[in-house]
Amino acid sequence: MEVDFAEYRLRCQLRGHEDDVRGICVCDDVGIATSSRDRTIRFWSSNPLNNGDYTMSKILLGHTSFVGPLAWVSPNAELPEGGIVSGGMDTLVLVWDLATGEKVQTLKGHQLQVTGIALDGSDIVSSSVDCTLRRWRKDQPIEIWEAHKAAAQAIIKLPSGEFVTGSSDTTLKLWKGKTCVHTFVGHTDTVRGLAVMPGLGILSASHDG
């Protein structure tokens, strides 16, 4: 199908952060969360009565340095309006209750900046500049393993349940549990971003351009 990109236009601008925006995630159909070097997470509620535009409804305060990766937790018994998981330069992974805007879990263990967050059921898996991946259950790390020889910069979960990480060592690694089942090579600099292309494979973005 041919797409006419001339039909696309800027729909709205979300203004409120006081420094550069570092992360973004879609929160089902209820809104968008953004993170920033200004140390905040901001939640923008979808407003179906206003042409589907977004209004900033909550500012989440708790990180002590810039905030990066975000993940959406769908509503459950503990978080009836859903939640947000965030990682920061302060080495923390925080879990937020969207109903109150308060943090409900503080996950401490990484030694350096948290660079990626992925959800696996009720578990959280995080990547860090400290080269490790950590699996958290409730507020405890239940698995810790060295994933790369340099900073782990990104993590995604595949539909198969496996994980892929990208690193400053220029590689991507495919994980089944704590076992690396394949290493992808080709980039010549840090692998910074990852995405799943359904039916095709993995997309990777790198400092190599």
| pLDDT tens digit sequence for 15-61 | 999 999 999 999 999 999 999 999 999 999 987 666 768 999 999 99
Determine the topology of domain 112-209 in CATH.
Hemopexin (2.110.10)
Nearest to 175 by CA among 157, 159, 162: 162
Location of each CATH 2.40.10 domain in the chain: 15-108
Reported pTM:
0.92
Alpha carbons within 13 A on the beta-carbon side of 59: 9
Location of each CATH 2.110.10.10 domain in the chain: 112-209
pLDDT band at 109 (very low <50, low <70, confident <90, very high): very high
Give the per-residue pLDDT at 184. 97
Higher-scoring residue by pLDDT: 46, 132: 132
pLDDT band at 139 (very low <50, low <70, confident <90, very high): confident
**Region 15-108: CATH code:** 2.40.10
End-to-end CA distance of the chain: 28
pLDDT > 80? residue 165: yes
Q: What is the mean pLDDT of residues 188-202?
A: 95
